[in-house]
Amino acid sequence: MELEEKFVNRENIYDGKVLNVVKDTVLLPNGKEAVREFCLHIGAVAVLPLLDDGTVIMERQFRYAHGDVLLEIPAGKLDFPDEDKLLAAKRELREETGALAKRWTDLGMLVPSPAIISEKIQLFLAEGITFTETEPDEDEFIDVERIPLSELYGMAIRGEIPDAKTQVCVLRAWAVKNGLK
């Protein structure tokens, strides 16, 4: 069965700093038209920084949309559409935690909410960590802590980490480090 929907036209609803809201008219496989409202996002990177002692550098950050402080891996949006994902990951890791990594493993891409946002997050494992100064954005307030990867794995399995990119990156890093990939 044909599943692809064909673009007909777009109406821009809102242009913001982080995302743009659009309303597209599409042609369905059955020939009928439908409306798709969604957000365009430039893309992002996320990093699981694993220290030699088996702990992971984690962040706690207030997330306004959810009204709560969430436990997350370091992450951030791209500065421009074609930005090199590895360079962006290195920048975000250094700015938010002061960490620099010697070894990088690509853990693949994550599409966190495909029905309503075009965001794609490239995931990385960073190892061989040394530290320098942090440079958080002026609107970023982050508490940094270290948690063993084994503990994070258990938290992810038990559903104690609500953030999707953190869950997926922890599980993929666990698989890589335990020869399960």
List residues with catalytic annotation.
138
Q: Which secondary-structure segment (H or E) carries 164?
A: helix 164-177
Residue 115 and residue 61: Cα distance in Å, rounded? Answer: 25
Among the listed residues 144, 49, 48, the one whose alpha carbon sits nearest the alpha carbon of residue 96: 144
Residues 23, 33: contact at Cβ < 8 Å?
no
The conformation of residue 74, written as its DSSP 8-state character, comes to -
Residues 6+ apart with CB under 8 A from 149: 50, 54, 55, 56, 170, 173, 174, 177
